[in-house]
Amino acid sequence: MLPPPDWRPHAPLEPLHFDWLSRAGVEVAVLRLDRIDPLISGNKWFKLNEHIVAARQVGAEGLISLGGAHSNHLHALAAAGKRFGFATVGLLRGHPLDTPTVLDLQAFGMELHWLGYEGYRKRHQADFWTPWQARYPRLHAVPEGGGGLAGARGCRGLVAMVEAQLPALGWDDFQGWWLAAGTGTTAAGLVLAEAGQRAVHAALAVPDDHGVAPSMRNILVEAGVADSGYELIEACRGGFAKVDPELLAFIADSEQQGGLPLEPLYTGKALLALREQVTAGCFGMGTRWVFVHTGGLQGRRGFAL
């Protein structure tokens, strides 16, 4: 059974207390998407939501999608299948590997198929899904990472979620958003929802050649809105999943000083990029920003954190 349409997870909005913010006179609140559910964590649920609606409309019995051996997307999808009792199938990049994520996928009941690297590179070909749809005719296919316009539309509700909590912070408004970008889907959803009212700053957790810019542009064009209202900031620190001592030290300090758990692939890099801009004086005193904690803490298990 697919999740009920009235299941609406909630993420708290909390002020961040860091000395580098205090010195600059800048306020940041974090939207804790990592806390929406014990299993289905982060922005991945919101990116899945519209795909689940579409699956329900066509009478599908479950979902099939793609990802790597550390995929937060597949982890959230498998967890949702476990929670709500629907079938899930994962098509994985590379060859069989028992990572903590893969072991979770199996424990959640997801059926796995390893495509190798060459097979996975074919995922953008027009006929890629044909044999899989023949094999699993009752499953609805979800793009890699839950991307595309449907994934972006599922993230639009984050704006209302934050706005409803501003009075509790004593805020009347804020200047814009800051979040990590792996595909750009969540950032595109915020751009759609904001319609030019607030800026969206997306810190790239992947190199330029991973296609975040064209992906966001295509989503916005398909939605019929202007390709504007956002900024992409280089934050990958040498490549996707590349870590360095400064990043790991920053994550440890953030958890000790502010009680904020981060992981090194997305949220750690994004918050470190924000600190760099704040300390460089890019934002005036009194400005307010919302940092989106996109979850993915299950990925910490692959690092010494």
Active site residues: 71
Please say whether the beta carbons of 192 and 152 come within 8 A: yes
Interatomic CA distance for residues 88 and 79, integer angstroms:
9
Bridge partners (DSSP) of residue 205 are: none
Interatomic CA distance for residues 46 and 51, integer angstroms:
10
